């Protein structure tokens, strides 16, 4: 196998691992990666504003609001307008949300972070540099991405869903 083929296989494995973890998370907890991350942030910070959640998880406030809408619809979180500042809304976990969170598997990125931080600094820098170069080679360095590892449907340039079938 050529070097470029080995790189493409490694990239596919990363994508596949992310997809499999996402499916496991959905099956066991009924949550997506970003939903889990937001719920864990609410649990960690307590009474917290949407802006603070967005900053903590590196997602836009609009995205966090949409995710909170879905979680609230499922009775996993609730929101309360601040009595001090009516412009602020605080998110809280419901009892049901806390129970689901307690049973949920760790997000994939937490396992990755633990293993990555155990590497020597030179090795961390080498991996970072290599992945940044790969992203550049794939014309992906301008794509907005958060550190949340999650997979969704891939859309082709013409807007159609890519099923992976020819």
pLDDT value of residue 130: 93
Domain match, 24 and 42 both: yes
Put simply, whether the predicted model's pTM sits higher than 0.75 gets the answer: no
Domain residues for the domain of 128 are 106-141
Per-10-residue mean pLDDT, the chain, length 166: 90 87 81 89 91 90 94 94 87 94 79 90 95 89 61 43 43
DSSP-derived secondary structure for the chain: --HHHHHHHHHHHHHHHHHHHHHHHHHHHS--HHHHHHHHHHHHHSSEEHHHHHHHHT--HHHHHHHHHHHHHTTSEEEEE-SS-TT-EEEEE-HHHHHHHHHSPPPHHHHHHHHHHTS-HHHHHHHHHHHHHHHHHTT-TTS---S-----PPBPTTS-B--S--
The number of folded domains in the chain is: 2
Q: Are residues 65 and 113 in the same domain?
A: no
Are 68 and 86 in the same domain?
Answer: yes
């Amino acid at each position: 196998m050529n070097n470029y083929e080995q790189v493409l296989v490694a990239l596919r494995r990363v994508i596949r691992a992310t997809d499999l973890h996402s499916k496991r998370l959905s099956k066991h907890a009924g949550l997506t990666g970003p939903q889990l991350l937001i719920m864990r942030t609410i649990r960690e910070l307590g009474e917290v504003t949407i802006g603070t959640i967005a900053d903590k998880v590196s997602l836009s406030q609009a995205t966090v609001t949409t995710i909170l809408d879905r979680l609230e619809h499922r009775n996993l979180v609730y929101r309360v307008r601040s009595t001090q500042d009516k412009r602020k809304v605080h998110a809280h976990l419901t009892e049901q949300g806390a129970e689901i969170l307690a049973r949920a598997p760790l997000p994939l990125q937490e396992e990755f972070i633990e293993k990555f931080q155990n590497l020597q600094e030179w090795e961390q820098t080498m991996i970072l540099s290599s992945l940044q170069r790969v992203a550049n080679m794939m014309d992906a360095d301008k794509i907005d991405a958060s550190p949340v590892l999650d997979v969704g449907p891939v859309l082709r340039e013409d807007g159609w869903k890519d099923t992976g079938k020819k």
